[in-house]
Amino acid sequence: MFPTPIAKTSRTWQISYQALLPVMLIIWLLPLIAVANFSIKPESDFVNGNYWGIPSSFEAFSNYGRVFFESNMPRYLWNSLFITIPTVIGAVALSAMAGFALGVYKFKGNLLLFFIFIAGNFVPFQILMVPVRDLTLSLNLYDTKTGLVLFHIAFQTGFCTLFMRNFIRALPFPLIEAARVEGIAEWRIFLFVVLPLMKPALAALAVLIFTFIWNDYFWAVVLTQGPDAQPVTAGITEFNSQYRAAYHLMSAGSIVAALPPVAMFFLMQKHFIAGLTLGAVK
Amino acid sequence: MHSILKTSLAALVAAGITASSAAADAHGLSGELNIISDMSNPAPRAVMEGLAADFDALHPNLEVNLTIVDREAWKTQIRNALGANPPDVVNWYAANRMRPYVDAGLFADISDLWAEPEFEALASTKGAMTLDGAQWGVPYTYYQWGVYYRKDIFDQYGLSEPTNWEEELANCQTLLDNGVKCYTIGTKFLWTAGGWFDYINSRTNGYDFHMALARGEVEWTDDRVRQTFANWRQLIDMGAFIDDHQTYSWQEALPFMVNGEAAAYLMGNFAVAAMRDGGLTDDQLDFYQFPMINPDVDYAEDAPTDTFHIASGAQNMDAAKEFLRYVTSAEVQTAINGGDALGQLPVNANASIDADKFLEQGFDMLSNNAGGGIMQFFDRDFDAEMASVGMEGLQEFMVFPDNLDDILMRLEETRQRIYN
């Protein structure tokens, strides 16, 4: 099932593998390299058609300086943070409780309820675009961070609950039974017995949701407009002025916008990979 | 020296404003004036905020409330905004773009303002502000279209600015013989081809015919339209345009001109800033009015105009009208269109402009040599759906000119569906 480890293959294959790997890596990263290259070019390079060549002058400081000091980017970054963090807290808290209920209690319709949570994940979110927009509009939440947060929590909780429920199922049930024998209230069991055991799942889920929400573009465009509420993914288009697209600033802005999730990934790599497999393997 | 000039100009403007404010105060405007503006890009936004603040300061008893909406978003929000609880003054565009709101009775008829003597200075756009014989808004800025060309390349081959079609074709042949394309263009997003059609059609058949076509009153299969395409085809068959232009945006087509592979670009004045960024100096770059084709028709020019309108449900009509007088005055139009503000052209013929050779030529052209009329550009003059089908057809024509019959049939079908 797994490919033979490279260390056990023939020497020629090892060499060609080592030679091919960097080539593949560069091809794979080409779009990102281009964006990074664009972000340190002066604007004149785009007018001269110098798209792929070496920048005619090194403009990283002025480009990134303008992104941070002469645009709404800092506001968009704050918006992203104020949207992402409450969503992570809300979705993880709700799903931990829902997962506990679905994983521990036996009641009629338990499985059905669980399937509804799963089924929600299969709804392609594009078809929700119009109704959700109308809903937020009539709730006076259109173009607010709150509106985006509430929607994200509602939509992410489905996936998170599936994840949490499966994780709680895998915990040794006798622990909970022992606590019950001691006469501990159910909410205290959740808080003091189950929750501490769920730490790896909570961490993994938080990292995962953070990157999901931070990178969300679709709902940001549908539900918000302007620097008051828009997160950074949608705000980048601000560098398109009425007539011209400022490719160099947009590239610099994209790099800045991509940094938090990348940093998150490297800092929490262990949890991230755990998060991708935890719910799947029972 | 420059700053002294600027300061004295500012003083002059201030003096002018005080003078007009003394007159306005007599009216004693009071209450609230609610403005929704779509000037959301940084420089226009500062201009609009300045306008609102200055107008507020001029009228102590009047409270000016300004809401700035994203320029793109406003295109879908305007109908809602004008319908329920309307503001007094809104931004929009001239000509056929006003049509839906005029027909729905959402814009107020301000023909009485246009009858005032001060408004004669805005005559160049009066036609563009007129629908059904009445005026529905006032212009605050526009910019010229025309041919921006590499003067150094023209000089190298001994060419001069063409004034008629024969000279144009002769120039082009010389350039092509020397391995230089006559025109760069990027039609990926279609609209650039609309500019070419506007010019060739209005130069061939005149402004009135062009606007009748825009209003859907003429068949696309009309022989006069075919003549337009025949003229256009002369250039296409020569190979005047850069190859594969359908894969470039207008910005991506700039390098051809900056690197000297193409000699000219039919474009709006906003292209100048980009060309200068690319390293072209004012000695290398120049401008000429699109040449005459049919000597019997007057010059008509593309000059997309941005406007202010009063909502028909405005609560404070007096203040709204006074604001329109204010933004159209020569002093204010001079100030807001300056290089440090919008950097475009004032519509008021008495306004002055920055010392910039392209602005000067454009202002002169639009004020004195556009007797045919001011077009608003293909996608603003034509019905929105007609424009989008139309521009696809124009692009296809530029790539496959042999498909013309097919394209015209398609456009004609669209016209009949939309206008009947």
Topology given in CATH for the domain delimited by A71-278: MetI-like fold (1.10.3720)
pLDDT in tens, A23-59: 999 999 999 999 999 999 998 888 888 888 888 888 8
Residues in chain B closer than 8 A to A222 (CB atoms)? none
Q: Is the Cβ–Cβ distance between B128 and B376 less than 8 Å? A: yes
For residue A279, the model assigns a pLDDT of 52
For residue B197, the model assigns a pLDDT of 97
* Other C-beta atoms lying within 10 Å of the C-beta of residue B406: 13
Spatial separation of the C-alpha atoms in residues B214 and A260, rounded to whole Å = 50
For residue A278, the model assigns a pLDDT of 61
Q: Is the dihedral of CA B86, B92, B95, B98 positive or negative?
A: negative
Residue bearing tokens 């600015």: B161
For residue A187, the model assigns a pLDDT of 92
Are residues A225 and B279, on separate chains, in Cβ contact within 8 Å? Answer: no
Instruction: Please give the full DSSP string across A210-255, using - where no structure is assigned.
Output: HHHHHT--HHHHHH--STTT--HHHHGGGGB-SS-B-HHHHHHHHH
Adjacency order of strands within the sheet including B285-288: B181-183, B262-268, B145-150, B285-288
User: Which residues lie across from B37 on neighbouring strands?
Assistant: B68
Q: What are phi and psi of B206, to 5 degrees?
A: 95, 160
Q: What's the pLDDT band for A265 if we cut at 50, 70, 90? A: confident
A49 to chain B: closest CA residue: B255
Are residues A244 and B71, on separate chains, in Cβ contact within 8 Å? Answer: no
Give the β-pairing of B145-150 and B285-288: antiparallel
For residue B7, the model assigns a pLDDT of 47
Secondary structure element (H or E) that encloses residue A129, with its range: helix A129-138
What does the domain layout of chain A look like in residue ranges? Answer: 6-68, 71-278
Q: What are phi and psi of B375, to 5 degrees?
A: -90, 155
**How much is the CA Rg of chain B, to the nearest whole Å?**
22
User: Which residues lie across from B286 on neighbouring strands?
Assistant: B149
Are residues A47 and B275, on separate chains, in Cβ contact within 8 Å? Answer: yes
For residue B262, the model assigns a pLDDT of 95
Spatial separation of the C-alpha atoms in residues B267 and B273, rounded to whole Å = 12
Q: How many angstroms separate the Cα of A226 from the Cα of each of A93, A144, B43, B76?
A: 30, 10, 16, 14
User: Which residues lie across from B306 on neighbouring strands?
Assistant: B93, B141
Give the β-pairing of B373-375 and B130-131: unpaired
B145-302+375-419 CATH: 3.40.190.10
For residue B203, the model assigns a pLDDT of 96
Give the β-pairing of B262-268 and B31-37: unpaired
Are residues A242 and B41, on separate chains, in Cβ contact within 8 Å? Answer: yes
Spatial separation of the C-alpha atoms in residues B137 and B119, rounded to whole Å = 12
Q: How would you write the pLDDT of chain B (420 residues) with one tens digit per residue?
A: 444 444 444 444 444 444 444 444 445 788 999 999 998 877 888 899 999 999 999 999 999 999 888 787 788 788 888 887 899 999 999 988 898 899 999 999 999 999 999 999 998 888 889 999 999 999 999 999 999 999 999 999 999 999 999 999 999 999 999 999 999 999 999 999 999 999 999 999 999 999 999 989 999 999 999 999 999 999 999 999 999 999 999 999 999 999 999 999 999 999 998 898 888 999 999 999 999 999 999 999 999 999 999 999 999 999 999 999 999 999 999 999 988 888 899 999 899 988 889 999 999 999 888 888 899 999 888 988 899 999 999 999 999 999 999 999 999 999 999 987
Q: What is the value of ipTM here, to two decimals?
A: 0.71
Work out the minimum CA distance from A245 to partner chain B, whole angstroms: 8
Spatial separation of the C-alpha atoms in residues A225 and A210, rounded to whole Å = 21
Burial A94-109 (b: 16+ CB within 10 A, else e): bbbbbbbbbbbeeeee
Torsion of CA B388, B390, B394, B400, to 10 degrees: 100
CATH class of B2-143+305-351: alpha beta
DSSP-derived letter for residue A5 is P
On average, the pLDDT of chain A sits at 88
Residues in chain A closer than 8 A to B258 (CB atoms)? 47-49
Q: Is the pLDDT of residue A199 over 70?
A: yes
Classified as helix, coil or strand, B407 is: helix
User: Chain B residues with CB-CB distance to A under 8 A?
Assistant: 40-41, 44, 69-71, 73, 249, 251-252, 254-256, 258-259, 268, 270, 273-275, 277-279
Spatial separation of the C-alpha atoms in residues A150 and B354, rounded to whole Å = 51
Q: Which two tokens mark B340?
A: 């440090």
Q: Is the dihedral of CA A161, A167, A168, A170 positive or negative?
A: positive
Q: Which two tokens mark B7?
A: 């300061």
Q: Is the pLDDT of residue A5 over 90?
A: no
Are residues A44 and B254, on separate chains, in Cβ contact within 8 Å? Answer: no
When CB atoms are compared, the residue of B44, B70, B255 closest to A226 is B70
User: Which residues lie across from B309 on neighbouring strands?
Assistant: B90
Are residues A47 and B258, on separate chains, in Cβ contact within 8 Å? Answer: yes
Spatial separation of the C-alpha atoms in residues A2 and A11, rounded to whole Å = 20
pTM: 0.80
Residues in chain A closer than 8 A to B41 (CB atoms)? 241-242
Q: Is the Cβ–Cβ distance between B196 and B291 less than 8 Å? A: no
Q: Could you give the residue range(s) of every CATH 3.40.190.10 domain in chain B?
A: 2-143+305-351, 145-302+375-419
For residue A92, the model assigns a pLDDT of 95
In degrees, rounded to 5, the angle at the alpha carbon of residue B92 between the alpha carbons of residues B88 and B98 is: 100
Q: Is the Cβ–Cβ distance between A237 and A25 less than 8 Å? A: no
Spatial separation of the C-alpha atoms in residues A163 and A154, rounded to whole Å = 15
